[in-house]
Amino acid sequence: MLKRLFPHPLLSVTLTIVWLMLVNKVTSGNLALGILLGIVIPVMTAPYWPNRPKLRAPLMAAEYALVVLWDIIVANIVVAGIVMFKRNADIHSQWVVVPLELTSPEAITVLAGTITMTPGTVSATLSADGGSLLVHCLHTDDPDGIRDDIKTRYERRLKEIFR
Amino acid sequence: MELIVATSLGGLTAAGIYLVLRLRAFPVILGLTLLSYAVNVFVFATGRLTVGLPPVLNDDASAYTDPLPQALVLTAIVISFGMTAVLVLISLGAFLEAGDDRVNIKDETTGESDA
Amino acid sequence: MDQDMTLLSELLVSVFLIVGGIFGLVGSFGLLKLKQTMQRLHAPTKATTLGVGGALIASMLYFLMIEGSVSFHELLITLFLFLTAPITANFIAKTFMQGDVPENELPQTGREFGWAVYDDPPSEEDEEK
Amino acid sequence: MITYALIFAFACFGFGLLATLWRLLAGPTAADRILALDTMVINFIALLILYGIWRGTAIYFEASMLIAMVGFVSTVAFCRFILRGDIIE
Amino acid sequence: MNHWIIAPVVLPAMVAPLIAYVMRHDIVLQRTASLLGAVLLTAVATGLFVLSADGSVHVYRLGDWPAPFGIVLVLDRLSALLILLTSVLGLIVLIHSVASGWDTRGRHFHALMQFQLMGICGAFLTGDAFNLFVLFEILLIASYGLTIHSGGKARLQSGLQYVIMNLAGSTLFLIALGTLYATTGTLNIADLSVKVREIPVEDAALVRVAAMLLMIVFAVKAALFPVQFWLPGTYANAPAPVAALFAIMTKVGAYAILRMHTIVFGPDAAAIGTLSQDWLMPAALITIAIGAFGVMGARRLMPLIAFAVLSSTGTLMLAVSAFTPYSAQAALYYLLHSTFAAAALFLFADLLLAKRRTGDLLKVAPATVQNGLLASLFFAGAIGIAGMPPLSGFLGKLLVLDALRVSDYTWLVWTVVLAGSLLTIVGFVRAGSLLFWKSTSADLAGPIEPEPEDEAPPVTKLGPLVVAPTMIMLAMLGLLTVFAGPVSRHMEATAGQLFDPSAYIGAVLEDQPDTKDLSAHGEAH
Amino acid sequence: MVSGSGLLPVMVLLPFIGALVPGLMIRAGRNACATFTAVPTVLALVFLGVMAPGVLDGGTVTAKIDWLPALGLNANFMLDGLGLLFAGMILGMGLLITLYARFYLSGDDPMGQFYTYLLLFQGAMLGIVVSDNILLLLVFWELTSLSSFLLIGYWKHLPEGRQGARMALTVTGAGGLAMIAGMLILGNIAGSYDLSVILEHREAIQASEYYLPALILILLGAFTKSAQFPFHFWLPHAMAAPTPVSAYLHSATMVKAGIFLMARMWPVLAGTEEWFYIVSTVGLITMVIGALIALFKDDLKALLAFSTVSHLGLLTMLLGLGSKMAAVVAVFHILNHLTFKAALFMSAGIVDHETHTRDIKRLGGLASLMPVTALIAVVAALSMAGIPPLNGFMSKEMMLEEVAHTHWWGGEWPIIILATLGALLSVAYSFRFIGHTFFGPVRDDYPHHPHDPPVGMLLAPGFLAVLVVLIGLAPMTFAAPIVEAAGLAVTGSEPHVHLKLWHGVTPALFMSMVAVGGGAVLLWLHRPLDRIWLSTPRPEAKVMFDALMRRVVLGSRFITEVAHNGAISRYLAIFTVATILLGYAAFQGGGMPAPTRGLLPVPPLVGVGFVLLMVATAATVTMHRSRFRALILTSVVGLMVSAGFVYLSAPDLALTQISVDTVTVMLMLLALHFLPKETPRESPIGLHIRDGAIAIAAGVAVASLAYAFLLRDIDTISGYHLANSYKGGGGNNVVNVILVDFRGYDTYGEIIVLGIAGLTLYALMEALLNGPASRRLRNWTFPPDRSRDRHPLMMVVATRVMMPIAALVGVYIFLRGHNLPGGGFVAGLVISIALLMQYMASGFAWAQDRKRFEYHSMIGWGVVVAGLTGAGAWLAGQPFLTSAFGYFRIWPFEEFELATAALFDLGVFLTVLGAVMLMLYSLSRLARYAGETVNVDPMDYDPSRREVADSEQKDAR
Ligand code: NA
Ligand code: NA
């Protein structure tokens, strides 16, 4: 019953918060409406999200978010340098294959997203069985290092979060 | 600004007409899309141009833009959407039935002489 | 004090604007400059997104500190962009691979199955194995 | 000060628009064009936000939000068209 | 305020969704609702006709907003007449569609039909120029659906052309309306009339452009040279009952010109002058000629009829083009006639095609069952559209010729109209003798080629219900002939109202007792 | 004025009512049918008889019924002497023909049809001769053309019948149309279309500058109908009709309609130089040529037909002479011609009926085989030849007498010679008719052995032959009264006719003798003359007519197929050019006030946007062959247009434009999936240049138009909307309040457009799947290099989060629309796009299986909700769509607004959502039909399943 009313509790909370952000005014009416929508919309969209992903270790999630944010900012500057000042001929792009231990689609998605958002790498495609990830590096002379970096810095943490 | 809007309109119209005069359905559809942009801007412009004065009532605004053409354009946009949808599917249907997407029809019938 | 605050906020807003602008510029410049499609994909998906992020934060700060109104819309937009950018990049990369990269130019997956663009997903029978 | 910073940002993203237009026209691959369009939309969103600051009004944010959303959907649709032909098979 | 005025719009607009969405799996229910809707519409239209017959002008202020700020509906003699015509035509065509089974050869026929009626009635009623555009679009998009009803290559190809042409027309419509708003600042027809008359001729360039563009737009709908090209292909390939209903579609264009170019851009508006008639008359003449040549040269029956309709449209517009009360009277009488005549022929064609395995190619084919019946229907229809006695076309044509006696180009006009009639008559005679006379002679019967298209299976015997609608249409022509006196008197009164728009303008703009109460709420925040 | 005026319209109506009878009676048998067909004729004759005495006394019966007073077309009837003569002929002959046809027609002929046509024709003829309104006369005139068409083509299995009928209708129809113009002019001069009024305006008419055109046009009508040269050629071809028809139409009635008309109009039109020369010349030429051709015709009916042409020429000439006496002679000869010619036609019919041939060269010697027929024929033919003491002699003598006193084209001799020649030829062919048919040796090679027909068939010609003799012997008894009455009607004065056989030794007697003698010589020389005739090349009217008709058809076809060649691109080019030219012409007719506004400044960024817009637009054109590229480029255009809207204070427009564009692009991509991906290069360079020129002209025109008004201010009605949006509509966003309130009716219409679009797409999809297109779809092959991931994992996961958020945004945009940019329409599109995202992620079919709402009913509900919201105002006695709103407070919430406009907007929302989804559904159905499979899982492969599978395997172990 409760599961039918709250198929994705986290989503419900998110939606309520998003609603309040949208209306930009925290009033009792808006809150009530936000909660209502937070309940109704997940119920309506539940058929499209049949399973409920397991999310553990909220602290780890926060840590992960900070790590990623930091990486984004730092690496962006590096990439900006490459883009602006390196001669095209000096840019050594490479494909990197990252074998995955993650199996949860949500986790894989977050990992792939993280890889893309952190500069220098773009996740291009998964293998057909979702067991490895093809990453494109803008400039590297050490593809294995990149792969190991990804596995230790992100995948390890994600394995904890989506256990 | 007025000159820019007028020129844009002219450009959109010219491009639209040129494409509408092509022989295949798809460019014709594109042409009509461009024409519909042109016409939306045209009708919108009949309220004359204003910058930064949206027609949303608020206490500190001293002037507003003319809201009526905007409402008309909104209606026109919606209608032209419905029309485009129908046009797209009819051209698809004609293509599927005829095997090509030519817009011009060649009459294959042959008549019979008088008697 | 008030004036200092204003100056500080203006400074802060300006910094974010300029940083955002620079990243935006980098993204677009990369799009022009880089020679390979996959390389070009790097620049805008990240730099431009970050650039917009800068502008959004500037805007949030501006309305918060100078206009005095709290606005979370910027946060929402940022969230949305960061959520969609990887998906977009992924799709564009695949589009490029499908059309312009033969499978044999890519490294092996190291698994039974090839890359998703070129190989069908495991079927029921595959799973039975 | 903000004004100058704004003008600088306007200039950056404005240049971005032109750059993306160039890429869109030059290609050479479909992926490049889609990428260019996607980047153009993001640049546009940035400009919209800057314009909101310039005007001191929050009225353009919904537009930005909506454009972010439809921009994403369009990009995916264009990609899917190249990838699969049918975008909603 | 009389709420019945909006009934011709709201009634089909409510019936249609019910048919489309609630009853979409039950054809019997659909038919019942659709026919009932049409009967009710006819009843309402009759009531409105009676209401307006005394010359009173009734205004319906939508949303209770005062004119010219809200949208108004205006019921006068002209709108009432055309709504009645539409509803009667619609009802008869519906009966034919049901009896012939056309409504089952594709989806959503009845819903589209109701929407089509709604759009047409709405266009006749509206007192707002932009709303006229909206209703045009409704009737057009419904007509797109109906033209391609049941699909098929030829139908889709010509349907595509029809849609493209009309989209181009709609684009121009918006440009014209934009120009009009840009020069007058209003959209209400009565208000436009006032505003246009305030514009001195030395400032009139743009408003003249607007008037001209609008006329071209309406000419597209009315199928007037040089924008008539869409008509033959569309009508010839549309399902016959749809083509029959479309008999009223060209009239919508004629109506719009009659309405806008008298009340707003009338000859008495200094800004406009004789602009309208200067261009309309030659266009109408060429249209007549093209239609007549088309009839004469036709290889197929459906195009033959379509070209005859084109020619008759030209005649109608010719009468309109003189812009005198008498010519408008002639035009209105001819309008009634040509609507029923065209519809009768298309319905007839459907009967014939149901029985002819060789399609509508004008060539010898074996005699059909009930050849005599079909031949007489064809003969009557041909007489009707060609303007021969004893049917109303002859009277209509005489009225038109008589009304145009005063023009400077009487000679040209008469020559074109009369020569056009001759070509039409001879063309129909050719077709008829091929279809019915030669077909009975065994010695000439060629081999039968089955139609390539998957057309409807031939009906073995036409039952009374299938034939009745065609006969009723023809009977209408007879009634128009017999009651030509009273009918033309009513047309005279109707035309009089058009050329003295003071009542119209007064009713819309001045006579506004109590509109929306605006004192209830405070200021904006 | 005499009594009995009520009878007159009834008399005209009788045949028309009677026309229904045969159809009903035919089941009762042929005799009953014929009998009852005769009833209306007899009744009409009785009516005529009742009115006759008064008319013979010089009176006129009139009846007036209003019909179409606006036009001056009224059912006014008038029976005077001329009318009486003709009415008597029409009805009397009608009766005889009814009788004759009963026996003539075979059992295979549809007799009911015949009698119906006959009565229709009779009524029309009767109408002509008693009309007192020329427009009414025209009505009947055209009716005779139509009904005679049916009669001539009665034997539709005969090609000659069909051709003859068409030729007759074409020629007489054309004349009739000319006559319409003539009559309209005539009425215009006289100020009335009433004949009695027109007849009083002789001076005015003849003095009018329009007299000549009117005369020519009316004469065209008369000449075509009466087969005058050069329109004479149709009459012989009409002989393909059954003989009763020929006897009725082509001797007695229809061809005389033209003569009647000339007689009718004689008082106002005759007496001028123009009349004299046109009419008498045409008559004379016709008379001679007709007689000459008749002499060499071998077909009995053709011979008679040309003799009729000749006699009609004679009548025309007489009327053309303009003297009162000549007119009276014409009237007399009309009567005489009727009697002998009808009898001859019937006799020819009998011969044909009995011998199965009408070829004079295969006949001869019939006098002994069918003596009664021969007697009748001989009497009638002698009368035709003008042999005393028969009636034909008298009128011929009188004609020659008139001719002898006529000064024509510079003297008396030309006309005397020509008239005598005509009479001479007349004698020759009359003698030949009887001589070569009935006399000479009996042959043994008749196609069918002849004998006299049944009495029924002989009655009618016999009766006529008796009349021929009686009128000849006692003209003052049998002919004078009616000829006097008719003569009075034509000439307007008492003619005092003295009809007698012997006029003494006059020039006419000499001419007559020459004619008879010459005729006999000609017949004697017939064989050599015939050889000469046959070897002489001469214009064949039928060949020329057919060639003309073929040319007209081919010409028409050429014009039609050149104009309507099926090329919409040309239609549109013409449309555009015409619009530009006409628009420019309109513009030239008025002036422009001085500009009242300055230009707004252009910041550099706007310049950038402008560059993007123009470049993208131009590139769309130059790259349009690659359809995908063009589509991307139009997206740029859309984006820039939206940018312009944002900049120019129209955020609502920007929102709407951008969301509509997205959905449109989706639809186009869906369609492009099936369509060719490239547009071939097929139009020649010239066409590109032409189109380019047209396009640039159109662009310049639209730009100038916009620029012209952008510089000029104007007062608009929208001040009211700004002022009352909040007070009266309860909303701050004026655009939205206009949409849902001020002009909610437009919006109501607009959602209906969308709903119809949804329906149409659905219906079309169904039609395609049921038609030949389905085969094409079934055989669809997809490119083999398609990407193999249909539903990639990342997209599915991202959508699961984004779709609910997007839906939330949709709700937000819906709710705020009344006060800020947004509203039901954009919200509907946003939700659609959110759903579309889902569809792209996991596929349409998969998502469709999980949907909660039927899209069809969503459209339905949308339209109904909007409609009911509008109709709800009726409950409050307000007009449709009158809005209401209020501010409410429920603890613990703050004040909120409820407005009916929101409910209306909900209708908009539902319709938009339903329509868009239904469109997508329709297109995706096509794709599935083309072989796309439906996935079971939301994503291609869920790696966590591998884990589950692994653990299960572990468990199993
Ligand atoms: Na990355
Ligand atoms: Na795959």
pLDDT tens-digit readout, F292-331: 999 998 899 899 999 999 999 999 999 999 888 899 999 9
Burial letters E201-219, b for 16+ CB under 10 A, else e:
bebbbbbbbbbbbbbbbbb
- pLDDT-derived band of residue E443, with 50, 70 and 90 as boundaries? very low
Neighbours of F259 (CB within 10 A): 26
CA distance E308 to F796: 59
Residue recorded with tokens 């010239």: F686
Do A123 and C46 count as a contact with CB atoms less than 8 A apart? no
Helix, strand or coil, per DSSP, at residue F286: helix
Using an 8 Å Cβ cutoff, are E402 and E320 in contact?
no
Identify any residues that bridge with A94 across adjacent strands, giving them in sequence order: A137
The mean pLDDT value for F7-30 works out to 85
The domains of chain B are located at: 2-98
Q: F with B: 3 or more CB pairs under 8 Å? A: yes
* Contact call for C and E: 3+ CB–CB distances under 8 Å: no
pLDDT by residue (tens digit) across C40-98? 998 888 888 889 989 999 998 888 887 777 778 888 888 888 889 999 999 999 999 99
Distance of alpha carbon F87 from alpha carbon F96, whole angstroms: 14
CB F295 within 8 A of CB F521: no
Give the CA-trace dihedral at F626, F632, F633, F639, to 10 degrees.
170
Q: Report the amino acid identity of residue F808.
A: L
Mean pLDDT of E48-71: 94
Which ligand has the minimum distance to the alpha carbon of residue A78?
Answer: 1
Task: Give residue-wise pLDDT tens across range E231-280.
Answer: 999 999 999 899 999 999 999 999 999 999 999 998 888 888 888 888 99
- CB contact under 8 Å between D88 and F920, yes or no, is yes
Instruction: Return residues with CB closer than 5 A to ligand 1 (ion).
Output: A 115-116, 118, 121
The pLDDT value recorded for residue F746 is 95
Structure tokens at E339: 């609507």
What's the pLDDT score for residue E367?
Answer: 62
> In which element (H, E) is residue F769 found?
helix F744-770
Give mean pLDDT, residues A64-72: 90
Q: How many CB pairs under 8 A join B and D?
A: 3
B11-25, F488-502, F527-541: the lowest-pLDDT one: F488-502
Neighbours of chain F (3+ CB pairs under 8 A): A, B, C, D, E
Pick the CATH number of D2-84 from 1.10.3470, 1.10.287, 1.10.760, 3.50.4: 1.10.287
Residues F270-296 pLDDT 10s: 989 999 999 999 999 999 999 999 999
* C-alpha–C-alpha distance, residues F387 and F394, integer Å: 9
Candidates F660, F698, F487; CA nearest to F573 is: F698
Give the pair of three-digit tokens for residue F930: 């083309």
Closest CA to F314 of F340, F273, F280: F280
Among C24-28, C44-48, C104-108, the range scoring the smallest mean pLDDT is: C44-48
**Confidence label for C129 from pLDDT (cuts 50, 70 and 90):** low
Query: In sequence order, which residues have a C-beta less than 8 Å from that of residue F231 and are 6 or more positions away?
Result: F171, F175, F223, F224
Cα-Cα-Cα-Cα dihedral sign, residues E101, E105, E107, E111: negative
pLDDT at E521 over 80: no
Q: DSSP for F36-53?
A: HHHHHHHHHHHHHHHHHH
Q: H or E segment at F77?
A: strand F73-79
d(CA F576, ligand 2 centre) in Å: 50
Residue F29 near residue F112, CB atoms below 8 Å: no
Least confident range of A3-12, E173-182, E301-310, F824-833: A3-12
Q: What does the pLDDT read at residue F29?
A: 78
F779, pLDDT greater than 80: yes
Residues found in chain C: 129
Residue among E21, E206, E438 nearest F863 (CA): E21
Q: Specify the 3-state DSSP secondary structure of F153.
A: coil
Instruction: Note whether F136 and F75 are within 8 A (CB).
Output: yes
Distance between CA E319 and CA E399 in Å, rounded? 9
Q: What is the mean pLDDT of residues F883-901?
A: 80
Q: Is the pLDDT of residue F496 over 90?
A: no
Other beta carbons within 10 angstroms of residue F540's beta carbon come to: 11
Band of pLDDT at residue F690, cut at 50, 70 and 90: very high
Chain F hits for D85, CB-CB cut-off 8 Å, are 673, 782-783, 786
Amino acid identity, residue E359? G
Distance from the A14 Cα atom to the nearest Cα atom in chain F, whole angstroms: 9
Taking the C-alpha atoms of residue E439 and residue E374, their distance in angstroms, rounded to an integer, is: 12
Output the pLDDT for position F363: 87
Residue C116 at interface with chain F, using a CB cutoff of 8 Å: yes
Q: How many CA atoms lie within 13 A of F589 on its CB side?
A: 20
Give φ, ψ of F885 to 5 degrees: -150, 160
CA distances in angstroms from E518 to C36, E72, F604, F727, F884, listed in the order given: 65, 19, 44, 6, 11
User: Cβ–Cβ of A117/C108 closer than 8 Å?
Assistant: no
Burial (CB count within 10 angstroms: exposed 0-12, middle 13-18, buried 19+), residue E408: exposed
Residue closest to E313 by CA, chosen among E286, E340, E284: E284
Inter-chain residue contact C116 with F789, CB threshold 8 Å: yes
Quote the pLDDT of residue E98.
94
SS (H, E, C) F295-315: HCCCEHHHHHHHHHHHHHHHH
The complex scores an ipTM of 0.94
* Per-residue tens of pLDDT for chain B, all 115 residues: 999 999 999 999 999 999 999 999 999 999 999 999 999 999 999 999 988 888 888 877 778 889 999 999 999 999 999 999 999 999 999 999 988 899 998 865 443 333 3
In a 3-state reduction of DSSP, which class is residue F429?
A: helix
Q: What angle do CA B65, B70, B73 make, to 5 degrees?
A: 155
**Token pair of E494, please?**
């109707």
**pLDDT of F27 over the 90 cut:** no
Which of F652, F228, F130, A72 is CA-nearest to residue B78? F652
Residue F705 three-state SS: helix
Chain D from 16 to 35: CB within 8 A of any C CB: 16-17, 19-20, 22-23, 29-32, 34-35
Residue ranges making up the domain that contains A27:
2-48
Q: What is the mean pLDDT of residues F511-519?
A: 87
Residues of E in contact with F588 (CB under 8 A): 205
Kindly list the distances between the CA atom of residue A99 and the CA atoms of A147, A157, C108, C110, C114, in Å, as whole numbers in the listed order: 9, 16, 11, 8, 13
CA dist A28 → A36, A40, E481, F299, F818 (Å): 12, 18, 74, 109, 21
* DSSP conformation class of F781: -
> Which residues have their alpha-adjacent CB atom under 5 A from ion ligand 2?
A 128; C 116, 121; F 788-789
- Tokens 């007409």 -> residue: B17
pLDDT in tens, F83-102: 999 999 999 999 999 988 88
Nearest by CB to residue E525, choosing from B35, B59, B111, is: B59
The amino acid occupying position E419 is: A
Is F767 within 8 Å of E145 when comparing Cβ atoms?
Answer: no
pLDDT tens-place string over residues E473-493: 999 999 999 999 999 999 999
Q: Report which DSSP code applies to F469.
A: H
Statement to judge: residues A44 and A62 lie in one domain: no
> What number is the average pLDDT over the span E425-436?
88
pLDDT score of E451: 44
Whether E128 shows a pLDDT value over 90: the answer reads yes
The tokens 């009834």 sit on which residue?
F10
Question: How many other C-beta atoms can be found within 10 angstroms of the C-beta atom of residue E442?
Answer: 9
Q: What is the CA(F796)–ligand 2 centre distance, in A?
A: 14
Show me where the domains of chain E are located: 3-509
Q: If you count DSSP H runs as helices and E runs as strands, how many of each does chain F have, helices first?
A: 41, 4
Yes or no: say if E83 and E124 are a contact pair by the CB < 8 Å rule. Answer: yes
Q: Report the percentage of chain F scoring pLDDT > 90.
A: 55
Strand-strand pairing, F885-888 and F896-899: antiparallel
Residue whose C-alpha is closest to residue C46's, from C61, C31, C65: C31
Could you tell me how many residues make up chain F? 957
Give, for F435, the enclosing helix (H) or strand (E). Answer: helix F413-438
Gap between the Cα atoms of E505 and F425, Å rounded: 76
Which pLDDT tens digit goes with each residue over A112-121? 999 998 878 9
Work out the percent of chain F whose per-residue pLDDT is above 70.
98
pLDDT score of B112 = 37
- Whether E380 and E473 have beta carbons less than 8 Å apart is answered as no
pLDDT of D2-17, one tens digit each?
899 999 999 999 999 9
A142 plus A101 within the same structural domain: yes
Closest CA to F567 of E304, B27, E158, E218: E158
Whether the predicted pLDDT of E525 surpasses 50: no
Residue F843: phi, psi to the nearest 5? 95, 150
Closest CA to F826 of F734, F912, F916, F919: F912
Instruction: Report chain F residues whose CB lies below 8 A from the CB of E525.
Output: 726, 732
| Ligand having the closest approach to the CA of C94 | 2
Residue E100: closest CA among E350, E334, E312, E343? E350
The model's confidence at residue E170, banded by pLDDT at 50, 70 and 90, is very high
